[in-house]
Amino acid sequence: MTTVLDRFDAWCGRALLMLLLVLWCGATWFFSAWEIWWFWPFAGVLFTAMGLLALRLLMSSLLGASRLSFSRLGRRLLLAYTPFLLYALVRAIQADVHFDAERSLLLEVTPVMVALAVIMSTTPDAQRRITNILGLNIALIGLYGIVNHFAFHNARVLWQPGFPEYQVGHFRATGTYYCPDHFAGLLELGLALALAALLARSVPRRIRLAAAVLAAIALTGIVLSKSRGAGAVTLGMLTLALWMAPGHLPSLKRWLWRSGGLALLAGLVAVVILVGGSYVERFKGYPWRQITLSDRYQMMESGLRAWSEARVFGIGPGMHPNVWWHVAASGDGNRAKGIWPTQLNDTFHSYNVHNDWVQLLEEYGAIGFLLFLAALVPITVALLAVRRRQLDRWRDGAPELEPGADRLVLGALLALFAMAIHSIGDFNLQLPATTWVLGGLVGLALAAASRDQGRRRRHGRNP
C-alpha cells in the first residue's frame, strides 16, 4: 500500500512540476495571458497544480510530513501576506464590478499560489532546472522579438496583427507581448536571471556561458523595444550588479572594483548619449519639462484623485477603468465659476494607471497599501539576510551550504528590484504571465532561503 502511495505521490510531484512549466512558458508565449480567453485556461492550469499539491498534502500524513517541506520562514512569510489577501478578498466581494474585481484579486492571489507550489513541492535539483528553463524560455522569446523586429517590423504579434501606433516614429520590438514596454519588462526578469548566474559563486561554466547569451539577448531586446522605463531599470540593474559583483572581496579591493566598474558604466552611457540613435531620441523626445501634460502623469493624477474620494479602503479592486471618465479631467477646473480643466483627457481611455503602486493605493486604499508593504518588506528583508550570509561565507572561504542557492536568491532580489522600479511608470504587474514568472522566482529564492536558515540553525546547535 505504501509503495503504491509512494508512486502516486511521485507522479503528482512530476505532474505538478510539468503544469508549472506549462504555466510559465505557455502564458509568456500566448500574449502574456492578457485576454480573458487566454487568462482562464492558464489559471485553470495553476488551479489543477494546486489541486495536486493539496493531494500531496493529504497523503503526507501517511507518507511522512517531511516529504513536503514548509519551513518556519515560509510559514512566517505566508502569515505576513495573509492579512492582505483576506482584505483583498473582502474588497473584491464588495466591489460593484465583479469581473474586473475578480481579475484584480486573482492577480494578487495567483503569484502567491505559484510561490507556494514551488516552495512546497519541488526539490533543490528541480528548482535549479526550473531556473534554467525559465531563462531559456525568456531567451527564446527575446530571440523571437528580435527576429520579428528586423524581419517584419513588428507588424504582427505571433499570428495576430500588432498595434500600429507602437511603430509610429520608432520601430519598437514587441515580442509575444502586444506592448513593447511589457515585452521589455519580461526581458528584465531574464536579465535578472542572467546577472544572478554571472554573479553567483558556484555555477557551472556552461550555465555562465548561457547566462551571458541570455543577458545579451535581453539587453538587445530592451534596446529594440525602446522602452524608456526599461532603459532606466536596466541601467539600475547593471549598476546594482556592478556594486554586488565584488561583494566577496576584501574592503579595499571591493571599493576599487566598484569605482572602476561604475566609472566604466558611466562612460558607456555617455558614449551612447553622444552617439545618439532612435532610442536616445525617444528619451529626448519625452516632454520632461512639461511632464505634467503627459498622458502617464495625467493617469497617475487621476488615480490619486479617485483615491482622495476613498482614502482608507480605496475605490475597490478593478474599479479604475470604470471610474476613469469621472476623474479623467485634471483637477484645476471649477464648475461653479465656469472654469474648464486645462486637461480634459477625453481622447483616450485609461484601463490601467500606468503606475502599479498608485493603482494599488487607488483601488485598495491606505489599508491595502500598508498591508501589501507589510507582506513585501519581510520577504525582501529575509532574502537580503540570506544574501548577506552567503557573502560572509564566501569572504571567509567557508563552503557553501548549498551550491547554486545564491543564484536563486540573487535572481529574485534583482527581479523584485526591476519590477518595483518599473512599476512606477507602467503596469507590468497587471500582466498575468509576468506576475506568475515573478512569483516563481520569489518562490525559488524563498525555498533556498528556508534551507539556508534550517542548515544554519542545525549547525548552530551542533557546532
Distance CA 204, CA 197 (A): 9
Confidence of residue 77 (pLDDT cuts 50, 70, 90): confident
pLDDT at 69 over 70: no
Q: What is the pLDDT of residue 57?
A: 86
Q: Residues of the chain with pLDDT > 90: what percent? A: 67
pLDDT at 454 over 70: no
pLDDT at 462 over 50: no
Start-to-end CA distance of the chain, whole Å, equals: 40
Burial string for 235-252 (b: 16+ CB within 10 Å, else e) reads ebbbbbbbebbbbbeeee
pLDDT at 1 over 80: no
Confidence of residue 64 (pLDDT cuts 50, 70, 90): low
Q: Which of 455, 447, 461, 458 is nearest to 70 (CA)?
A: 447
Most confidently modeled range among 62-66, 136-140, 291-295, 376-380:
136-140
User: Which parts of 308-355 fold into alpha helices (H)?
Assistant: 320-327
CB 361 within 8 A of CB 73: no
Distance CA 232, CA 269 (A): 11
| Residues 154-172, mean pLDDT to the nearest whole number | 90
Distance CA 331, CA 344 (A): 10
Task: Count CB-CB contacts under 10 A for residue 71.
Answer: 18
Q: Which of 456, 451, 454 is nearest to 404 (CA)?
A: 451
pLDDT averaged over every residue in the chain: 91
Q: What is the pLDDT of residue 67?
A: 59
Q: Strand, coil or helix: what is 336?
A: coil
The predicted model scores a pTM of 0.94
Q: What is the pLDDT of residue 461?
A: 46
pLDDT at 193 over 60: yes
What cell numbers appear for 203 in the block?
A: 555555477
Residue type present at position 210:
A
Which of 1-15, 42-56, 233-247, 291-305 is least confident? 1-15
pLDDT digits (tens, 9 = 90+) for 268-322: 999 988 887 888 888 888 888 788 888 899 999 999 999 999 999 999 999 999 9
Paired sense of beta strands 156-157 and 160-161, if any: antiparallel
Q: Strand, coil or helix: what is 14?
A: helix
What cell numbers appear for 187 in the block?
A: 526581458
Q: Strand, coil or helix: what is 127?
A: helix
Q: What are the domain boundaries of the chain? A: 1-68, 72-121+309-318+350-463, 126-273
